[in-house]
Amino acid sequence: MPRKPDKKKEKAFIGVVHNHLVPEAASMGKSLIEALGAKGESWMSSADEVGSVGDDLAKTRAIITVGGDGTILRTVRAAAPAGVPILGVNMGRVGFMTELKAQDAVAKVKEYIHGSPWTEERTMLVATLASNSGPPKVEVHGLNDVVTSRGAMAKLLEVKASIDGAPMTTYRADGVIVATATGSTGYALAAGGPILHPRSQEMVLLPIAGHMCLQTPLVLVEDTAIVLHIVNDAKSFMSVDGFVAKNLKVDDRITVRRSPHVARFLRTGPPETFYTMLTRRLGIVER
């Protein structure tokens, strides 16, 4: 359920994370800090460097991202473990997770930082990659999805999938996606998956361009453990939220579960506006 931020636990700093590839993003971030009167109690970082913020993160009450969904996906890795909520300002193309349009941000930012917003919590995933040979286990947390995908060679990837220890199917496909509700409007949607409300805790499992295999997307309860076992030698890799890539080998296993961390976003509008925003951002015009 939506909840109000705990005023007793408010911290001093405001963080601003910007997309360094968008020239206007950094200057927008400075304007937002000025609008909030937070020059002496703020920090700024590019999205690529937010993981190096250090001690200031523990003192941060909110992070404003200036960019698009990609900026949020990078920021949430640092913000979620620290319990810091995010306010997204959209300077990208679609901005499913952003809250404010760039042209409205300076005028409205005080409503979110000094007003009475509610906090939306979204489920995250954790992927654990284990190999019989090679380096120790790799563990990565993400908000959107965990994807196993073939490389440049036109050879189908074969992946045995099991759910809670029970063998389910072998996917022969370009890849396999495990997505959160947030990620259901991203790559999973393009691959034919369903749209879940972003506050749902379920996961979606589906193949990418499956060939002679189970192609129906599955919606799985939140406490499910999914194991993806690589069974052929197709050149392939694992990505989390499209950023973290690990090369995969035969017999590698990826276990995907619900993460103990949650992503938090500051909102002011009613939760049901998701559906209106969804059709608008997908370019669907209602007559």
Which residues are known catalytic residues? 69
**Rg of the chain on CA atoms, in Å:** 20
In angstroms, the CA 142 to CA 127 distance is 8
Provide DSSP, the chain.
--B---GGG--SEEEEEE-TTSHHHHHHHHHHHHHHT-GGGEEEEEGGGGGG-GGGGGGEEEEEEEE-HHHHHHHHHHHHHHT--EEEEE-SS--SS--EEHHHHHHHHHHHHTS--EEEEEEEEEEEEE-SSSS--EEEEESSEEEEEE-SS---EEEEEEETTEEEEEEEESEEEEE-TGGGGTHHHHTTPPP--TT---EEEEEES-SSS--S-EEE-TT--EEEEE-S---EEEEETTTEEEEE-TT-EEEEEEEEEEEEEEE-S-TTHHHHHHHHHTTPPP-
Report the 10 Å Cβ neighbour count for 107: 10
* Maximal C-alpha separation, the chain: 60
Q: How far apart are CA 186 and CA 201, in angstroms?
A: 16
